Chains A and B, each alone.
Chain A
């Protein structure tokens, strides 16, 4: 499962721009993850603060 650490996230939207399945949405100040997430981990690499993690 992809988790968003909302205490770290600075709501910049970088992760949204790289997700190949369009599974992320930046809603003003928080990130929503939809059921389309394939847990590929691409977004976790781009996050400047390390707020995203794919957890088993």
Chain B
């Protein structure tokens, strides 16, 4: 079987659905392919997003939101904790989503804008004419399908192949991916008002443990560890240990595992006829691991640029340069900064982490954002943070 359209979007996560919606709104014929039979399931996410940035892009539906938080609490390895309030630290978290519902909601918005959504349809390669991509070959419910389109948007997540098919090497080095495990936990010990972050090289080497509230005495409790410090099954084993020490009576209602890129901006997210968005373009924040909003932002830009390129008739890499320029200026700079922070953070010993968090104990940081907090940290710990001085402005 075969079909034709203007843009094929591979993957109906937040990045792909936003790209498909933007392209369809601009009048393009769009196919949105999702290999799973259900959009959004199984989840591979802790579901925390900043309120403000989300609301700038979509109107958050009440059913997308599992919980709203008051702020964030960060624990040093020695147990000392500091609190950041929601309106500031909330740039990172604010809502905890129900991603199964959220992802499907975004795919529905794409469908309502006119995109043709196709589930259980897996892209298996690029179609090429004179060496340039001109669509995808796919398997739809086990049957081959060719979809011709001048532009392919790869929004195919951490396992992305679209970039590699187009000659963009997006292979993640072990030091540039967090391997994660998470349980949905109900327990009386759960703090259902604050997002909590626990630091320490023995509990989560090169990463952190999180507890994000999802309702009354209910939370996503999970951890990510740096791939280069992992071994087979380590993420799940460490989560078991954390559960025994912090939620010994916790009941587990769901299990989530996944890989979260922390690679910083890649060299190129475009090729002739191809744009990569979201995890496929490794656009996750390397320090926090947050990638929902950046995927959505990049998806919107890619959808808009696709429309311009189709109407101008130039879908070459040069013709798609506006996408490259805009994602780099909107999100790329932040990713680059976070990458430097991450590279530094993963080297810190538990003593260093204790010193840093401890130094904030007597400061009034409740009203500060992450940047403000870093400035204070630098003032109090100039020697430890010397390497980062160019980032603290």
Chain A 10-53 per-residue mask, 1 if CB under 8 angstroms from chain B, else 0: 11111111111010011110000000000000101111111011
Stretch at the interface among B105-113, B251-259, B267-275, B335-343: B251-259
In the complex, chain A residues whose CB is within 8 Å of the CB of B258: 12-14, 48
CB-based contact B42/A47 at 8 Å: no
Interchain CA distance A29-B177 in the complex, whole Å = 21
Min distance, Cβ A12 to any Cβ of chain B, angstroms: 4
Quick one: closest A residue to B124, CB to CB? Answer: A25
- B35–A46 touching, CB < 8 Å: no
Within 8 A of A (CB), among B311-346: none
Q: How far is the CB of B45 from chain A (nearest CB, A)?
A: 11
B349 at interface, CB cutoff 8 A: no
The answer to whether A26 and B181 have CB atoms under 8 Å apart is: no
Residue of A nearest to B161 (CB): A22
Q: Measured between alpha carbons, how far is A10 from B159 in the docked complex, in Å?
A: 14
Report A1 CB to chain B, min CB distance, Å: 16
Known A-B contacts A12-B257, A12-B259, A18-B172; the reply to A45 vs B157 at CB < 8 A is no
**Count of A-B residue pairs with CB < 8 Å:** 94
How many residues of A sit at the interface, in one of the four size bands?
Answer: 20 to 34
Do residues A50 and B232 form an inter-chain contact, with CB atoms below 8 A?
A: yes
What interface size band does chain B fall in? Answer: 35 or more
Q: Is B179 an interface residue (CB 8 A)?
A: yes
Contact status B259-A13, CB under 8 Å: yes
Given A10-B257, A18-B174, also A48-B181 (CB < 8 A): yes
Question: A48 touching B157 by the CB < 8 A rule?
Answer: no
Interface string of B231-271 (1 = CB under 8 A from A): 11111100000000000000000011111010000000000
Which residues of A are found within 8 Å of B235, using beta-carbon distances? 48-49
A17, A52, A53: the one contacting B172 at CB < 8 Å is A17
Smallest CB-CB separation from A9: which chain B residue?
A: B257
Specify which of A12, A49, A52 is in contact with B44 (CB 8 Å cutoff).
A12
Residue of A nearest to B228 (CB): A45
A13 close to B159 (CB less than 8 A): yes
Residue positions of A touching B, CB distance < 8 A:
10-20, 22, 25-28, 42, 44-50, 52-53
Given contacts A13-B158, A16-B161, 10 further A-B contacts (CB under 8 A): A17-B159, A18-B172, A18-B259, A19-B171, A45-B174, A45-B230, A45-B231, A46-B174, A48-B235, A49-B257
